[in-house]
Amino acid sequence: MNTADLGLPVAVPSTALFTDQYELTMLQAALRSGNADRRSVFEVFTRRLPEGRRYGVVAGTGRVLDAVENFRFDETILSFLRDRGILDEPTLEWLAGYRFRGDIWGYPEGEVYFPGSPVMRVEGTFAEAVLLETVVLSILNHDSAVAAAASRMSVAAGDRPLMEMGARRTHELAAVAAARSAYVGGFHTTSDLAAGFRYHIPTVGTSAHAFTLLHDTERDAFTAQVDTLGRGTTLLVDTFDVTEAVRLAVEVAGPELGAVRIDSGDLLLVAHRVRQQLDELGAVNTKIVVTSDLDEYAIASLAAAPVDAYGVGTQLVTGSGHPTCSMVYKLVARAQSDDPDAPLRPVAKKSLGGKSSVGGRKWAARRPDENGVAEAEVVGTGEVPAELAGHQLLVPLVTGGKVVAREPLDAARDRHIAARARLPLSATQLSRGEPVLPTEYH
């Protein structure tokens, strides 16, 4: 399903202005110089992972496909550009008929990546491909950062479910994208209804402290919630006194009470005390849900606690300290002329300060060892070695301007779990370290 066609309230009329002005001024200059139609290859990659991270997670691919399809310059947008004097009339006329008609290859969503991995390759004329730089990077940098944090939290949580609940900690549209990326990274549910509506992610939620404070007594609040939502609901027990609240919760709902939620205090200590109390009250099947500014380290610290599920907000939607992946979109090859059959010539920026890039249209493969565990990310140009042909990572996403790789979100989520499982065990360590795989250039 193309969510860009649904006209949902979390969509926008066009993605064409999700760009930086210099994309358009480069276009105008290229049209004037006669080089706009040169066949070009742009690649998205990062030169390094966030400090201490062992792997990255590709997320946002499906949103990129929607954005490319919706990259249109209607009359309102063209009038804005005209009134601001940003572009001349020939360029505006060219934009009026803009459609991306090139090819896009990329790592499939949910796959892991490493420094230098060509996670996306955009091929077309310079004019049509250069315009996509900002929107592609905006999506991939944000979504991949959230997915990487979600993946680490998923590892820390083990088999315990994770709930995304960060909508109130970020921009309202970013919250929808964050919930989507968290699901790719291993989360199970979201509190954000827009994300549930747009991406069919399971949604959860019961009550906040305000609901308890609304009522004259905590018993009244619990009774109202149970009467409305049933005995299987989750009751928030840390508004006043946790011990008394747990007693009231079981008294009101009975041993069939679904869960209690703890949102403050020493979660490790409180969880143990609450579990003991629930068992003594006969609510042996009542689960314990914890929230309260969790990150992957806090989740890991609760591994031995009697906790059944985690709710994560702020740290998740901000990438757990790394809100971007520092991905870049670089021209790596261009034709020697505007002849469609002209050979491609590798190009690359040469720069001091670690900002250089490697020229050439690249392939990527992940070489396994004899046990099927990944041992290296191999990136190269030219022919793919026969021994790596069956381990290539890039897949066609757009062919001749037509999206060919749209898939259910669950496919990306399952792919990530499988890809992470094929990495060396040290990939799942939360301690700081180097990327778990070296990147070799062929």
The whole-model pTM stands at: 0.94
Over residues 202-250, the pLDDT tens digits come to 999 999 999 999 999 999 999 999 999 999 999 999 999 999 999 999 9
Beta bridge partners of 439: 377
The pLDDT assigned to 12 comes to 57
| The three-state (H, E, C) secondary structure of 360-387, written as one string | CCEEEEEEECCCCCEEEEEEEECCCCHH
Contact predicate 284/277, CB 8 Å: no
127-144 burial string, b = 16+ CB within 10 Å, else e? bbbbbbbbbbbbbbbbbb
- Does the pLDDT value for residue 10 go beyond 70? no
pLDDT over threshold 80, residue 7: no
**Predicted pLDDT at 122:** 98
pLDDT band at 27 (very low <50, low <70, confident <90, very high): very high
DSSP conformational letter for 38: S
DSSP letters of 247-282?
HHHHHHH-TT--EEEE-SS-HHHHHHHHHHHHHHTT
Read off the amino acid at residue 116. G
Q: For 95-197, where are the E strands, in sequence order?
A: 103-106, 112-113, 120-125, 162-164, 189-190
**Biggest alpha carbon distance in the chain?**
80
Tens of pLDDT, residue by residue over 51-101, are 989 999 999 999 999 999 999 999 999 999 999 999 999 999 999 999 999
pLDDT digits (tens, 9 = 90+) for 375-412: 999 999 999 999 999 999 999 999 999 999 999 999 99
What SS3 state is found at 131? coil
CB neighbourhood size of 10 (10 A) = 17
pLDDT at 339: 85
What are the distances in angstroms from CA 120 to CA 187, 197, 330, 375, 417?
24, 28, 11, 22, 20
